[in-house]
Amino acid sequence: MTEENLHDSPTTDPLDLHACTHGQLLALMAELGQPAFRAAQIEDWVWSKGVASPDEMTNLPKALRGALAARTSASSAVELARQVSLDGSRKYLLRFKDGAAAECVGMPGTRKLSVCVSTQAGCAMGCVFCATGRSGLIRSLTAGEIYEQVMHVRNDFNTRVTSVVFMGQGEPFANYDETLKALRRLNASGALNIGARHLTVSTCGLIPQILRFANEPEQFTLAVSLHSTIQKTRDALMPGVKRFSLVHLYAALGEYTDKTGRRPTYEFALMRGVNDTDEEIDSLCDFCRGTLCHVNIIQLNEISGSPFHPSTSERAQAFIDRLARVGVEATIRNSRGADIDAACGQLRQRVIS
Ligand code: SAH
Ligand code: SF4
């Protein structure tokens, strides 16, 4: 191909390198008279090296870099804030091109780096104990924007990411397609190559999507936020999922475990005097007994101005002991990064323009 047609002015919208498919990139290469292997080289820059600016793709011919700059775009997130917790976790506030912002967190361990990503800016579900739920939904994030959060954390720690939890702002299953695209991208061998079991999606309990997730071929891990198995209490705490009753949720989870053979995690944040009673323990034991599951008991993270407060460690232990007696595995999980408001439910929505 000649220099001239490489620099033809674009007649179509630029191709978003963070959102396009392999097929679209191949088509662009064909159009530019480039061999197909260039598409793989570009994807390697974007997905393995975290580079979306064609100028920096040094193994491409200069003329192609110029053509790519004219024909492609990439939503590069800007870091607006970075906070480091006493426990080593780091929270970032990233701003996307339209001004919507979302937070992500990196949690290092021994030879491990776990990343918590947001799937939406804000959240429409309105759980009363959650900081994200207070401000409503701004918009869903694209797969590229979800992926970028992981790359951002990876680059800051300069180490391999070993697991990703979709537990930041937003309800992943209210943004199912983009969430799945991001999961697949993270799992892909040409990209970060994170094992499907180390990719966990947490949902507040959207039943149709739980059933859809059961049919995906990959072994992604599912977490479900329960917080109460007494309908009245759950309705009050999680008004956004009122329409999906616990009876139906129980049946859907049965279908999920039958189909996949995988063990979902149930999250239960203890709130003093609200869902830490003996009646709640009895009910949770009934919900879990004889089923494939693992229960995570979490102490509620305090949100300023909230009427809800964490329970006591005695009550948390009572949950663990009683669940053990009916053969259900349960652990008390400590949230990381509470001192920088990076713990579960503390991520707040902001819009920066
Ligand atoms: N929307 C999804 C995932 C993001 S929230 C969901 O709700 O599952 C991640 C987890 O943090 C969920 O289990 C959520 O219920 C929990 N959470 C929300 N607010 C919390 C708080 N103040 N303290 C502890 N956990 C909280
Ligand atoms: Fe949304 Fe999850 Fe917060 Fe509920 S707990 S408001 S679903 S982010």
pLDDT digits (tens, 9 = 90+) for 163-185: 999 999 999 999 999 999 999 99
Nearest atom of ligand 2 to the alpha carbon of 168: 8
Among candidate residues 19, 43, 73, the one where a domain is terminated: 73
Structure tokens at 34: 């480039």
What is the pTM (predicted TM-score) of this model?
0.90
Closest atom of ligand 2 to 170 CA is 8
Mark whether 145 and 19 lie in a shared domain: no
Which position has the higher pLDDT, 135 or 335? 135
For residues 112 and 50, state if they share a domain: no
Per-residue pLDDT at 210: 98
pLDDT of residue 1: 43
> Is pLDDT at 208 greater than 90 in this prediction?
yes
**147 shares a domain with 120:** yes
CATH (domain of 256): 3.20.20.70
Tokens of 18: 């963070």
Do residues 41 and 120 share a domain?
Answer: no
133 lines ligand 2 (CB under 6 A): yes
Helices vs strands, H then E, count in the chain: 12, 14
| Amino acid at residue number 164 | V
Look at residue 346 and tell me if it is in a domain: no
The answer on 187 and 116 residing in a single domain is yes
Residue 334 has pLDDT above 60, yes or no: yes
Say if CB 58 and CB 72 are below 8 A apart. Answer: no
Distance 28 CA to ligand 2 centre (A): 39
The answer to whether residues 264 and 207 belong to one domain is: yes
Q: Does residue 190 have a pLDDT over 80?
A: no
pLDDT (mean) for 113-134 = 94
Q: How far is the CA of 170 from the centre of ligand 1 (A)?
A: 9
Q: Where a domain ends, among 26, 51, 73?
A: 73
CA angle 67, 70, 76 (to 5 degrees): 115
Domain span at residue 31? 3-73
pLDDT at 214 over 60: yes
Q: Which of 46, 73, 100 is the last residue of a domain?
A: 73
Active site residue 204: no
Is the CB of 203 within 6 Å of ligand 1? yes
318 found inside a domain? yes
Do 103 and 143 lie in one domain? The reply is yes
Instruction: Answer yes or no: is the C-beta of 194 below 6 A from any ligand 1 atom.
Output: no
The residue nearest atom 25 of ligand 1, judged by CA position, is 344
Q: Based on the fold, state whether residues 89 and 198 are members of the same structural domain.
A: yes
The CB of 298 under 6 Å from ligand 2? The reply is no
User: In this structure, is residue 115 part of a structural domain?
Assistant: yes
Instruction: Please give, one letter per residue, the 3-state secondary structure of 37-91.
Output: HHHHHHHHHHHHCCCCCHHHCCCCCHHHHHHHHHHEECCCCEEEEEEECCCCCEE
Asked, for residue 143, whether it belongs to a domain, the answer is: yes
Mean pLDDT, residues 307-314: 95
Residue 351 resides in a domain: no
d(CA 315, CA 233): 18
Same domain membership, residue 241 and residue 119: yes
103 is catalytic: yes
Q: Is 140 part of any domain?
A: yes
Q: Minimum mean pLDDT among 66-80, 165-179, 237-251: which range?
A: 66-80
State in Å: Cα 129 to ligand 2 middle: 9
Q: Does residue 221 line the site of ligand 1, with CB under 6 A? A: no
Together in a domain, 163 and 292: yes
The whole-angstrom separation of Cα 187 and Cα 253 is 24
What value does the mean pLDDT take over residues 2-23? 67
267 lines ligand 1 (CB under 6 A): yes
Ligand 2 centre to CA of 37 (Å) is 42
For range 303-323, the mean pLDDT = 95
Total structural domains within the chain = 2
∠ at Cα 276 (272, 278), nearest 5°? 140
Dihedral of CA 151/185/139/267: which sign?
A: negative
- pLDDT score of 191 more than 80: no
**Are 63 and 109 contained in the same domain?**
no
Position 21 scores a pLDDT of: 83
- Does ligand 2 have an atom closer than 6 angstroms to the CB of 125? yes
Predicted confidence at residue 172, as pLDDT, reads 98
- At 16 the pLDDT is 86
State yes or no: pLDDT of 219 exceeds 70: yes
Average pLDDT value for residue range 128-133: 90
For the ranges 41-50, 65-74, 125-134, 174-183, the one whose mean pLDDT is highest: 174-183
> Is pLDDT of 4 > 70?
no
Ligand 2 centroid distance, CA of 185 (Å): 24
**Residue 35 maps to which CATH number?**
1.10.150.530
- Grade residue 350 by pLDDT with cuts at 50, 70 and 90: low
Average pLDDT over residues 96-104: 92
Asked whether residue 48 falls in the same domain as residue 167, the answer is no
pLDDT at 5: 46
Instruction: Evaluate whether residue 179 is within a structural domain.
Output: yes
Question: Is residue 176 a contact partner of residue 29, using CB atoms and an 8 Å limit?
Answer: no
Marked catalytic residue, from 20, 43, 103, 171: 103
Distance 185 CA to ligand 1 centre (A): 24
* 3-state SS, residue 253: helix
Spatial separation of the C-alpha atoms in residues 44 and 314, rounded to whole Å: 51
Exactly one of 127, 130, 293, 344 is catalytic; name it: 344
Q: How confident is the model at residue 76 (pLDDT cuts 50, 70, 90)?
A: confident
Q: Please state the rounded mean pLDDT for residues 46-52.
A: 85
Residue 120 CB less than 6 A away from ligand 2: no
pLDDT at 249 over 90: yes
**pLDDT confidence of residue 55:** 93
Which numbered ligand comes closest to the C-alpha of 126? Answer: 2
